Amino acid sequence: MYILITGATPFELKAISDLWPTGQYGSTMTLDYLVTGVGPVATGITLTEKLCQRKPDLLLNIGLAGALDLNLELGEVVHVIREEFGNLGVEEKDGQFTSVYALGLVDKDGGPFSDGKLHVPSGQAFAKQVTGVTVSTVHGTEASIETFKRSCDAQVESMEGAAATLVALRQNIPFVQLRAISNYVEPRNRDAWKIEEALVALTTALDQLLSALPGTQAARSAKQQLGL
């Protein structure tokens, strides 16, 4: 099994790649990493270029996310099973947002979209399953957040999830998106963010996921004992 783990930035991948370095694990698994860059455009292009070289048997997209759903806890890891592009449209003169689907520019049910959303076969739940939205500009004012929430029912916000999901669905690749909640989507206040705690929780969840795959834990232990 060839597994590709992708993240927007090196620091989101560092802890898990230190714990599970790139390489072969026994006869069952090969693990690789890809830094896609920040935002949906960079993610879509970089990931597609990588897939032209080799398609994985499992694609993992990981990273931090902001919580729109205030019932989620900071540091909590979630499994995103539905995605959408949140700001693909126009701003009307009254400040309201109209999507490209409502404008009739894009078919909201054109595959792999359904009602403008991307649904990932849920399968096994690796964490609490939630819905996500992807934006190019993270929201940081009360006015923009309230306007956005009226047009979107997602629970978490990221800048890459929908792009990675779209590529995976188009390429028919098994896909899991795991995100750790680093902050609430509220007027920007970095002092309240829990980045380190979220990264620790994310690494723990990924370690458990990889360890559960047949034969991988024993293979990793053998490599560590050999200093590899």
Q: Along the chain (228 residues), what's the average pLDDT of each consecutive run of 10 residues?
A: 95 94 86 96 97 94 94 96 91 82 91 93 85 88 80 91 96 95 87 92 93 65 44
- Give the pLDDT score at 24: 87
Q: What are the extents of the domains in the chain?
A: 2-83+120-132+155-225
CATH architecture of 2-83+120-132+155-225: 3-Layer(aba) Sandwich (3.40)
Among candidate residues 92, 19, 102, 116, the one with its CA nearest the CA of residue 62: 19
What pTM, to 2 d.p., does this model score?
Answer: 0.89
Rounded to whole angstroms, what are the CA distances from 194 to 191, 201, 207?
8, 11, 20
Rounded to whole angstroms, what are the CA distances from 173 to 48, 57, 169?
12, 7, 6
DSSP 174-218: -EEEEEEEEEESSS--GGG--HHHHHHHHHHHHHHHHHTSTTHHH
- Give the pLDDT score at 222: 44
- Give the pLDDT score at 228: 38
- Give the pLDDT score at 186: 83
Helices and strands in the chain: count of H runs, count of E runs:
6, 12
Question: What three-state secondary structure class fits 78?
Answer: strand
